[in-house]
A and B are shown apart, each in its own frame.
Chain A
Amino acid sequence: MNKKIVALVLFMLAVPAYAHHSFLSIYDQDSIEVIEGVVTEVWFENPHSRVYVESTDSSGNKVVWEAETYPRNILVRRGWNHNDLKEGDEVVLKGRKAKNGTTRVQMLTLTRSSDGWEGIGFEENSID
């Protein structure tokens, strides 16, 4: 019984800590990028979904960002359906930048400018 209580306490302490030091991650936990742009592709797939967003950088060049989020099954369970986000939608994307310097992020939040619809990313304290 004591073991169970210890396990439960461990969970309460440990789960919030996870998001801050995810090991061997390909994303930099401390480097957050905010991107405003237009959705060019939506990959609503298992084992991971992706959204591609084209934005214009400070030099006026078009840049396509790849944002990774949960598998489709998890998105559907949390209320994101396959027709909710479409090519051409204007969005604000916030994500953790890839450590290798590519234009790739782990999606934290995604908001559509026209109506405030929100996608589902790896918000703080989320698992995996």
Chain B
Amino acid sequence: MTRLFIYSYKKTRKAVLFTLIWALSSLLTTAMAAQSKPDFSGTWEMEGWSAEEWDVEPPYTAAGLAAFQEWESDPLSDPAHQCIFSLVRITTAPMLHEIIQDEERIVMLYEYEHQVRRAYIDRAHPEDPYPTFMGYSNAAWDGDSLVIEAVGLQEGYLRPQGVPHSDQLRVVETRTMLADGNTLTLETLIDDPVYFTKPWGVTTQWKKSDFEIMDYDCVARPHIGD
């Protein structure tokens, strides 16, 4: 093996040159690949969802069922009545959202409750995040699909019908552009080992929209709390 690396001076120069060219070309290929990723920038409008996954009884654990029954006994305790919505309520609602995408991050501007969400590409999550309603998101490319993972979520509800989640919830969203370039599918995986016996979720489909995002004055409405 060692003998293979014993070169004359000229041969070494050639090898260095070759290595340089190889490194440059691979850098160029990587850069080109990054540029050729689908661009999800724009305003998106929900077209529909695949009910097969979402439209069934959630796979509750005993703790999950107890949390649901607690909601059922007092639905007004849902912070949504005070215009506080957790991540999945926002991301799976049939309201508009705008995406701004560059090579380092994806910014999502939701009409629902004016929420702003930033997902940095290829960045690790904080180790022990303080849980909030929107949590922490990062992003990675899986081929041409954009995968956004959120953690650090405080207890809340997934749906208007009081489907609870724990603070161990991990949400994985996979966006895939369809061939027309104006439609995408968004798979939302709900992984919460405390409240659900297995991962589950919903797939929604979105199209590019000509509508502009409007104001959303939930907090300022005359009948807040009703």
Contacts and interface: CB of A to CB of B under 8 A. Distances in A.
Interface of A: 3-4, 7-8, 10-11, 13-15, 17-18, 21-26, 43, 45-47, 71, 73-74, 76-77, 127-128
Interface in B158-189: 159-163, 176, 178-179, 185
Contacts of B223: 43, 45
A47 B223 CA distance: 11
B203 interface: yes
B178 A4 contact: yes
A45 B207 CA distance: 25
Given A17-B51, A46-B217, A7 B203 contact: yes
Given A23-B56, A24-B162, A76-B214, A15 B94 contact: no
19 contacts: A3-B176, A7-B185, A8-B185, A10-B52, A10-B203, A11-B205, A18-B55, A21-B55, A24-B159, A24-B162, A25-B161, A26-B161, A45-B217, A45-B218, A46-B217, A74-B95, A127-B48, A128-B93, A128-B160
Interface in B30-57: 46-52, 54-57
Contacts of B3: none
A18 B205 CA distance: 14
Nearest to A71: B95
Main secondary structure on B side of the interface with A: loop
A71 B52 CA distance: 25
Contacts of A43: 221-223
Contacts of B161: 23-26
B68 to A, nearest CB: 8
B146 to A, nearest CB: 14
A12 B160 CA distance: 24
Contacts of B218: 45-47
